[in-house]
């Protein structure tokens, strides 16, 4: 079985590519190596994947001409590629280009693949809005340009399914962390501050925010289960995440305990669009995928700290 993974050099995409290759799939990865964060980190991921026989193509999904040179023999497409983050420094046009236009271009390409079995869109709990504690039947209420653009991308994909053009589904992920987490994300940044004796920047009010922090290994196993059970998933939207929620303060304390340090905190003005709480409702994932997320936050952070030491110290 041939699988195309977009965003394959990124955090979750690289883990997904590894798991699929280890499970016997023929994986092709695509990434545009965006400078949103250090491109060298993505190049490291790509090099590690290529050593495992995974081909990585440097292509930008928003550019229509790239599709002329892409092979068209894929059985599955898993679409991770996106403009992430809710920073005020990111222009709306970046979300539009990389999340909406790129997804539409990819869908046009997918419609031309004769034997494509399923298109998996990788979405986010940010679609629900400031309070992401709901099942999939709840009306979305995104509160950031990121959430709005990811909802738009999801609806483009689901429209293809509703129209009968593609078999497709969308998986909404919750606060994924673990080895290779992006450098601006909570735990990589916390761990870096701890080792370098730097102050950690905390947005005002976020210390008490609750998150369904979900270990990346649990996430990619859930997506693999979706690939293996794809015949029952056309038109489905499914939450994937941990049922356990922790506050940001609890997460900081776990890192401090494991590293036996006290991390200095610098509070800065609150960030617009930041979710107040997330709690993954995964009854549907349990039923359709047999999904669970058993890794505790302490267990997952132990793995992330070990990765950080190996990569950066």
The number of beta carbons lying within 10 Å of the beta carbon of residue 257 is 11
Strands 131-132 and 277-278 come out as parallel
What is Dmax (Cα atoms) for the chain?
Answer: 57
Task: Please report which helix (H) or strand (E) contains residue 26, including its range.
Answer: strand 26-31
Pick from 189, 209, 201, 188: which is nearest to 303 by CA?
188
Rounded to 5, what percent of the chain is helix, strand, coil?
Answer: 45, 20, 40
37 is catalytic: no
Rounded Cα–Cα distance for residues 105 and 89 (Å):
26
Catalytic residue among 146, 215, 246, 308: 146
Integer angstrom CA distances of residue 313 from 183, 195, 306, 307: 15, 9, 10, 10
Query: Is the CA virtual torsion 71, 26, 5, 122 positive or negative?
Result: positive
Integer angstrom CA distances of residue 88 from 56, 72, 184, 223: 31, 38, 14, 31
Pick from 238, 250, 247, 251: which is nearest to 291 by CA?
238
Rounded Cα–Cα distance for residues 233 and 164 (Å):
14
Rounded Cα–Cα distance for residues 37 and 197 (Å):
22
Active site (catalytic) residues: 146
């Amino acid at each position: 079985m041939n699988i195309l993974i977009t965003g394959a050099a990124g955090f979750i995409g690289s883990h997904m590519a590894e798991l699929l290759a280890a499970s016997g799939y023929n994986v092709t990865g695509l990434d545009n190596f965006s400078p949103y964060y250090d491109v060298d980190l993505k190049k490291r991921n790509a090099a590690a994947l290529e050593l495992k026989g995974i081909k990585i193509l440097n292509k930008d999904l928003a550019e229509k001409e790239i599709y002329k040179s892409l092979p068209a023999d894929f059985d599955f497409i898993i679409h991770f590629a996106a403009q992430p983050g809710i920073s005020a420094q990111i222009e709306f046009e970046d979300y539009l280009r990389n999340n909406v236009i790129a997804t539409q271009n990819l869908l046009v390409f997918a419609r031309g693949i004769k034997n494509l079995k399923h298109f998996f869109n990788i979405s986010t709990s940010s679609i629900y809005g400031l309070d992401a504690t709901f099942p999939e039947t709840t009306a979305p209420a995104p509160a950031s340009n990121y959430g709005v653009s990811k909802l738009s991308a999801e609806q483009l994909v689901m429209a293809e399914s509703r129209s009968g053009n593609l078999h497709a589904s969308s998986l909404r992920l919750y606060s994924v962390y673990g080895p290779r987490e992006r450098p601006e994300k909570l735990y990589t940044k916390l761990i870096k501050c701890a080792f370098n004796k730097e102050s950690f920047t905390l947005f005002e009010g976020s210390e008490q925010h609750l998150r369904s922090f979900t270990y990346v290994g649990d996430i990619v196993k859930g997506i693999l289960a979706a690939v293996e059970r794809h015949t029952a998933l056309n038109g489905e939207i499914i939450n994937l995440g941990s049922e356990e929620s922790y506050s940001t303060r609890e997460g900081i304390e776990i890192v401090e305990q494991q590293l036996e340090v006290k991390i200095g905190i610098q509070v800065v003005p609150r960030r617009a669009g930041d979710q107040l709480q997330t709690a993954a409702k995964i009854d549907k994932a349990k039923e359709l995928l047999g999904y669970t997320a058993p890794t505790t936050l302490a267990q997952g952070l132990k793995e992330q700290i070990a990765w950080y030491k190996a990569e950066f110290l």
